[in-house]
Structure formats: structure tokens, C-alpha cells
Amino acid sequence: MTNQNMNSTLLALLLALKDSKNPLNEAEKSDLSQAAEQLVANSKAWEGLIEPRLLAMIQANEALNHNFQVIKTQIENLGDTIPLNLLPTEIELEQAAPVPKTQLIPRAPLQVSSSDLKSDEITNMAIRVLSTNNPSETTKKLSRFEQFQQFLNQQISGK
């Protein structure tokens, strides 16, 4: 499993959901919820099980797939320098996607070193958001995603 691939895919998915104009259907919401459950159970199953199912769901939704592909390319162009300070904080996540105390997801400590992508922050954030009843609406509540998208757009225009 390449952690960088998983993080860029999950982050691109979350940002594409945020930009989605069309609501997800029940099957898509179910697919995202199952992906979150699988990530919790065994994130090592990313390449063989979780990623193929997620990508199939994304590709079946033309608008979501277009946004996802554009954003994923932008994120991959960053290399391993995803600025975690532009991602939603625990407080913002708790407001947008509260988790019952009995279902708290263990979070890795924030790592702000050059090994940012080795952190589980992106995976944990994705699990929280994808587990909600409406992941698209949840991502729209996360204001830091807007800051992250602005950062991505500046990186593109700056090149």
C-alpha cells in the first residue's frame, strides 16, 4: 500500500464531494460508508479491495469523476507536501461530523514534518466524513477545504 496514493485519492474524493452539485444517490452513500468501514477494519486492504470499489463508484458518477480527476492531479502535483494545516481541524470535524463517544475513531497525532503523508490524519478525516449520512453535505461544512482548494489553485496558477 502506498500511503501517498491512498491519501491523495481520499483527499481528492473529499474535495470532489465538496464541489459536487448533484446529491449522491443511496447506493453511492452506501458505497462510501462501506469504504469507511473497511478503512477502519483494515486500511492495508486499500489497493486490493477498498480503492477499486471506490474508484468504480466515482467513475460511475460522471460529474463526481470529472472533479475527482482534476483535483487528484492537482494533489499529486504537490508530491509529498500536502499542508496539513489547511485540512479541517478536529473541532471543525466534530461540528460537521460528530461521532458518538462510543464510536470514537483513534487519531494519530498531528505530524507537521516532511513526512506529512505518513500521518493518518487524512485517512481518519475521510473515515469520519464518509461515515456520515450525507458525505457531500458534510464536506461543504468544512471551511478549511475551501482554503485547501484555494491553495491548490494557487499552485496551478503559480507554475
Band of residue 159 on the pLDDT scale cut at 50, 70, 90: low
What's the CA gap between 153 and 159, in Å, rounded?
10
Higher pLDDT, 27 or 118: 27
Query: How high is the pLDDT of residue 154?
Result: 85
Q: In the chain, which ranges are continuous DSSP H helix? A: 3-19, 26-41, 51-60, 62-77, 90-96, 121-130, 135-140, 143-157
Residue 119 DSSP symbol: S
Most confidently predicted of 47-61, 88-102, 103-117: 47-61
Number of domains comprising the chain: 1
pLDDT at 69 over 70: yes
Report which residue type is found at 82.
Answer: I
pLDDT at residue 48 greater than cutoff 50: yes
Structural domain containing residue 22 = 3-157
Euclidean distance between CA atoms 89 and 124, whole angstroms: 11
Q: Give the residue-averaged pLDDT of 45-63.
A: 95
98: pLDDT strictly greater than 50: yes
- Quote the pLDDT of residue 140: 93
